[in-house]
Structure 1
Amino acid sequence: MLNVTVWNENRHEQKNPKVREVYPEGIHGAIASFLKEEAFQVKTATLDEHEHGLSDEVLNGTDVLIWWGHMAHEDVRDEIVEKVKQRVLDGMGLIVLHSGHFSKIFKTLMGTSCDLKWREADEKERIWIVDPSHPIVEGLGEYIELEKEEMYGEHFDIPAPDQLVTVSWFEGGEVFRSGCTYTRGHGKIFYFRPGHETYPTYFHKDVQRIIMNAVKWAKPAERKKMVYGNALALEEIKGSH
């Protein structure tokens, strides 16, 4: 069984009644709820918990970490970010959602500003599936349509994705690389754009399906421990002394 930890800064829910109305159990609670239906072992963690809810015990027991943050990126302690980064490099999967593009962990792993254009105008988002063979979009049609979402637009300052899975179009005219995969070290990373806190995006069945598929895709590969550093020759080297 896959062990999934859903991390959410959980600040909007405390400060904004509109967000509490949409997500009474918090964004992390909504995501954890549908993941449990898929028989994953799910924990949640939030910013204001001790060690942001990401102790060594929690991280070492996590196969895939889901990250949602927005208004409090700078409140995440650097030493926790470093621990998460090392777990990704060691093989833990990481799924970064919506405004997590500006999180310390995503920017650290990407090595770029991860900046973009944005607009809140209650506009339609059509998420086109541009790699229909990818397991993250298994079971879906040509596109997902969200009646209202926040716009993110290009240029999105990220490294070229290993695989571009979805591209979004917005009613105002912009497009955006909205579903991107990466590998860093032994870990798999998926960035997925939709999920503004004032819209019920995480209750949309197709959005849920992509996140559930992404968890399965990002799970750590079973492998023997890799060996680094100075290595003895496997074969006799002629002429060596």
Structure 2
Amino acid sequence: MNITIWNENCHEQQNPKAANIYPEGIHGQLAAVLIESGYTDVKTATLDEPEHGLSKDVLDSTDVLLWWGHIAHDEVDDEVVDRVAERVLKGMGLIVLHSGHHSKIFRKLMGTTCNLKWREADEKERLWVIDPSHPICSGIGQYIELEREEMYGEHFDIPEPDRLLFVSWFEGGEVFRSGCTYQRGRGKIFYFRPGHETYPSYYHPDIQKVIENGVSWAAPVHTAWQQYGNVEPLETILEKE
């Protein structure tokens, strides 16, 4: 499987705390996690590369795309967003992480604002497993506990998920739908909430396991491409008197 990890890679250049936690960038940490889990074809792409590192050739060879963005959503070129959306509709898996909820690509595929409440106050987060039979939840206990994270709270303006996998509770009292799956065209989409740039959430074994499971789940199903539009009949149509 060919995996591409996209990260705007801005906080790591501008915020010393983020750079200290993720010295190789969030994309570098995610790549290391997936390589360690056994994936061999893992590449990264960032905002400042030509075409944001997401040329047609790169996307055509990508089975699953991971997306992390935050402060530079508006800098992502609309042509690239359309290119990614087309690949998802044709079968490429998409995993949207944390503040990627406001990315152009996620909002385009959801068709809503994807707005939410938020607060950064070093709060405990407990992600409760809602659907323990789902493959993305494989190997996870009843919940995942993070000592400190940014709070996201309801209402989360997204369409009703195909499957709701995780619901978060935060120390300040809010709850949030933190793990949601969708299908758009032939492509599978997984939104997973944890991952603020100033917290080491992507070093947590259970968070890593969920992302590994998500990549496996989102992989394309290779079946014959469907024919659309005007078609010739499969059988002879008898003339009617």
TM-score, normalised with respect to structure 1: 0.98
Residue 72 of structure 2 corresponds to 72
Is 1:8 aligned to 2:4, yes or no?
no
Matches within 5 A, 1:143-182: 143-182=143-182
> 3-state DSSP class of the match of 2:31?
helix
| Pair 34,235 (structure 1): closer, same or farther in 2 beyond 3 Å | same
> 3-state DSSP class of the match of 2:148?
strand
Question: How far apart are residue 233 of structure 1 and its match?
Answer: 2.1
Is 1:38 aligned to 2:67, yes or no?
no
Question: How far apart are residue 240 of structure 1 and its match?
Answer: 5.0
- Which residues of structure 2 form unaligned runs of 5+? none
> 3-state DSSP class of the match of 1:214?
helix
Residue 95 of structure 1 corresponds to 95
Is 1:116 aligned to 2:125, yes or no?
no
> 3-state DSSP class of the match of 1:131?
coil
Question: How far apart are residue 231 of structure 1 and its match?
Answer: 1.6
| Alignment-mate amino acid for residue 130 of structure 2 | V
- How many residues are paired up? 240
> 3-state DSSP class of the match of 2:59?
helix
Whole-angstrom distance in 2 between the partners of 1:238 and 1:114: 52
> 3-state DSSP class of the match of 1:20?
helix
Whole-angstrom distance in 1 between the partners of 2:4 and 2:158: 25
Question: How far apart are residue 57 of structure 1 and its match?
Answer: 1.1
Question: How far apart are residue 237 of structure 1 and its match?
Answer: 3.7
- Which residues of structure 1 form unaligned runs of 5+? none
Whole-angstrom distance in 1 between the partners of 2:90 and 2:29: 28
Residue 62 of structure 1 corresponds to 62
CA offsets 1:6-57 (integer angstroms, 9 cap, x no match): 0000000000000000000000000000100122210000000011000111
| Pair 79,240 (structure 1): closer, same or farther in 2 beyond 3 Å | farther
Is 1:26 aligned to 2:4, yes or no?
no
CA offsets 1:89-130 (integer angstroms, 9 cap, x no match): 000000000000000000000000000000001000000000
- Please provide the CA RMSD for this pair: 1.0
> 3-state DSSP class of the match of 1:100?
helix
Whole-angstrom distance in 2 between the partners of 1:24 and 1:168: 28
| Alignment-mate amino acid for residue 22 of structure 2 | Y
| Alignment-mate amino acid for residue 74 of structure 1 | D
| Alignment-mate amino acid for residue 24 of structure 2 | E
